[in-house]
Structure 1
């Protein structure tokens, strides 16, 4: 590799950072601090342990843990040996977890047993019928046919799992893979190797499995760090969890520049404020209602919110406050490994660029096409954003590329945007069935499928309503079956067993079939239905612009 060429695999990038920042803090929690040297040793030990149980390039590893030392060391270990790591949400219900483990072909599962109110041993047992009769390291389950071993931080009393400490001990055995073998294996990791799967709600009822390559994880985070103005001395607390792409991308940005990653004990707002006060945090990455609540709680505890970048209002390069309308609204998605359009955080948009998401980031090519004809639109005209290059995903796991990409390699994002002659992108709306709530994508079809499976539900229709804190709020209208007596509280309570909390509708109203607005061909008029729901819950909705009315 040419001396000036940036690292193109994670092992290469991590080796460079450790060499430059070895003794400096890498990951900090209230219980433990790891320097880059220690993070290197811990992740190497986990990597050698994985090699000892037969993992290697392409091994399918599921990581199911809250943000912290175990998550970081295991994630990095998987990347170092060229494995394909599926990051699993700690909010997963048993049906969601069962789908992920089967769809991702998971062979090795590593995770925590308990977090907050969750007992993940019980979740696994419910997700995988027959698991309770299984034997550790020799699992044979039809529901997850490739799964062979489960390792938890606490495996006491579980005949089908072993402890993470037992796994790490494999690296210390006399015949264990040594440092020289690990180095040789890291040298064989290629930029094109698939590295991570992130599950995100898609346009169908099943979550999409977004696959990113080693090159994306090595090249894009250092590029994004420039826009977030990250410096080696920063101590960043990402409030978005690392199992979501936004949290993972920020963690990788921090590590790519040799800064410090700070994790609170729990995502509870008070615990986050504690971490800010005790652990020297000077940067926060948050969004929407999470940020609003955190800012209020921090101010109430006497924290100087203006001194913490991302918590207080943004300032330009001269230290002057940037008006909200002139702050850049960075735009990205799981498929693009976070941001694809941006300006630096301290950039004050010109008055004629108010509302812009910025220009292209990291080598992405962008074009805007008419959703009906597929032809490119003139500058400033509304159309669907398509992307190519940059850190675009390899594809969706187990989905043919032809079903995800255009013949020339562009990816249709379903984002309706305008792109001006100067390259500034303006987001208008989502095309189709996605609802963006609390920094997460929710498929309305997935929520509808869960509602439809409940007794007494004849027709469920889910939409998103604009919300100043959530971005969009998931709501639903339900037509009961004849004679059924349904209640909003009962439906929500039942959904808690099958959907993650952020996917459950915040309001459910009941209507009749005659109330459902449809076109002459029987298609749902979702915007009119959203107006109907708003009226029933006593809210007013803004009318769509002419461009939105004619194009969406």
Structure 2
């Protein structure tokens, strides 16, 4: 099935074509026609169809779709920005962050999603590089902003909103473009310009594979400044969902919020699932029906362990800031191959190419390229990613098996050559993560005088667990080739991670 028939069939299956009051349905599609499929348009179609439905709940308050539209519209009039400005958004997940994002796009300005883990020096450099006119920020980030002159704390937003009368906004002269900062752990993060969806097809590509339905009660635990968290917000508005947010992810509090708010779907990053799995098994498990993760590889046998406890509800989306998505693994895919990244969804192409751009045989490792209608529009500094026949380089190495499942073998720049052999640290990480004593692990390449490079493993053990370095080496030796055995084993109390849960490998002690 392709094109319009696929979109219509998917929307029908997910409850988006359920009949409603004729005047509300007419206004819903009229708002999409006027405003497009960005945040501003998706909110307006949701408010037109379901104004009294609760749109978002955070730690402190909740808003209906009608209230969210009114408040974001008044905030759009109050903010000192115009179409074409770039506005930094430095917030943890909250109602205020969503109000700000929608207000900024409603006037045609470009929101720049800022990682809450940036240092003061990085933030100052980002503000300059992205030419930010304003940064809306949580009060807790006032100090890190330093002497930036355009800071607006979220604590001031209520007064700004209340000072402006309600009014109906007209679509701006230009469509605001969301800019997501890449998650590089050193140097200056680059700004990736995200496209605005041109219709229902991108949404349907995702919900065809991840069965999110209209009106779902959805917790977005992934940071909203992260590509996956932001995508979750876009999907939620399109589905007229009720979004549940918490400023910080804490496993016990997250499960309590899931139960209290009758949440049935979770948008998260893999490290959050690890946190949930460290809790004792609950007799009264929450009523989750979907747990969708993205942002990094699922370590070891996490997929199987999670589904054994919570049921076959896990979906894993492989993508990037630049490529949006490449493939999605369903529970069936993960049961068959727990380390798979799944299969390309509708309208997406994945190719595995050699260094010369030629396809490699099935099962052979090569460079992963992806094509879909939501590829990024380039970096704000003018640089681009490599393209081959319309497919974008992901920066990953991987392979596709005979069943069409995609596997990510590691980052191109992570692969090492040890004694003439190609070694993928991620392969050894997954092997060690399966050890019951290991809580988390990172494997990297380090210089070696004899072999050029060798592997070093950084291991965090579970509480009360004991494991010797030689036992770790023997485990690898039994399951992999000699050159995969890490010579250096370093035990740590925890791994350094950024705000999205990715391990900061450059901060590991050498």
Is this a same-fold pair by TM over 0.5? yes
Cα shift readout 1:11-67 (whole Å, capped 9, x = no counterpart) = 3333222222221111012431211111111211122223xx2x2332100001110
Q: Are residue 542 (structure 1) and residue 473 (structure 2) matched?
A: no
Cα shift readout 1:181-221 (whole Å, capped 9, x = no counterpart) = x2232xx445xx6323233117x733232220222797534
Return the alpha-carbon distance in structure 2 between the equivalents of residues 358 and 196 of structure 1. 27
- Of residues 324, 327, 340, the one that matches 1:341 is 327
SS in 2 for 1:396: coil
Q: How do residues 322-401 of structure 1 correspond to structure 2 at under 5 angstroms?
A: 322=312, 329-337=316-324, 339-343=325-329, 345=330, 347=332, 355-370=339-354, 372-401=355-384
Q: How do residues 17-416 of structure 1 correspond to structure 2 at under 5 angstroms?
A: 17-50=46-79, 53=80, 55-114=81-140, 120-125=141-146, 128=147, 131=148, 139=149, 149-154=150-155, 163-168=156-161, 171-172=164-165, 179-180=167-168, 182-185=169-172, 188-190=173-175, 194-201=177-184, 205-215=187-197, 220-297=202-279, 299-300=281-282, 303-305=284-286, 307=288, 309-310=290-291, 322=312, 329-337=316-324, 339-343=325-329, 345=330, 347=332, 355-370=339-354, 372-401=355-384, 404-406=385-387, 408-416=389-397
Residue 340 of structure 1 and its aligned partner are, at CA, apart by 2.1
* 1:110–1:164 contact (8 Å) kept in structure 2: no
After TM superposition, the score normalised by the length of structure 1 is: 0.65
Residue 110 of structure 1 and its aligned partner are, at CA, apart by 0.5
* 2:217–2:262 contact (8 Å) kept in structure 1: yes
Return the alpha-carbon distance in structure 1 between the equivalents of residues 288 and 179 of structure 2. 35
Return the alpha-carbon distance in structure 2 between the equivalents of residues 299 and 536 of structure 1. 28
Cα shift readout 1:353-381 (whole Å, capped 9, x = no counterpart) = 675433222522322111x3222223332
Return the alpha-carbon distance in structure 1 between the equivalents of residues 459 and 62 of structure 2. 49
SS in 2 for 1:290: helix
Residue 422 of structure 1 and its aligned partner are, at CA, apart by 5.5
SS in 1 for 2:152: strand
Structure 1 81/179 Cα, relative in aligned 2: closer, same or farther at 3 Å? same
Query: Structure 1: where are the runs of 5+ without partners?
Result: 115-119, 132-138, 140-148, 155-162, 173-177, 436-462, 478-515
* 2:222–2:267 contact (8 Å) kept in structure 1: yes
* 1:9–1:217 contact (8 Å) kept in structure 2: no
Return the alpha-carbon distance in structure 2 between the equivalents of residues 347 and 48 of structure 1. 48
Structure 1 284/72 Cα, relative in aligned 2: closer, same or farther at 3 Å? same
Return the alpha-carbon distance in structure 1 between the equivalents of residues 352 and 43 of structure 2. 36
Return the alpha-carbon distance in structure 1 between the equivalents of residues 279 and 49 of structure 2. 37
CA RMSD of aligned residues (A): 4.0
Return the alpha-carbon distance in structure 1 between the equivalents of residues 199 and 125 of structure 2. 25
Q: For this pair of structures, how many residues does the alignment match?
A: 416
After TM superposition, the score normalised by the length of structure 2 is: 0.70
Structure 1 70/475 Cα, relative in aligned 2: closer, same or farther at 3 Å? farther
* 2:219–2:265 contact (8 Å) kept in structure 1: yes
Structure 1 305/124 Cα, relative in aligned 2: closer, same or farther at 3 Å? same
Return the alpha-carbon distance in structure 2 between the equivalents of residues 427 and 210 of structure 1. 22
Structure 1 395/518 Cα, relative in aligned 2: closer, same or farther at 3 Å? farther
Cα shift readout 1:101-134 (whole Å, capped 9, x = no counterpart) = 12211111101112xxxxx222111xx4xx5xxx
Structure 1 257/87 Cα, relative in aligned 2: closer, same or farther at 3 Å? same
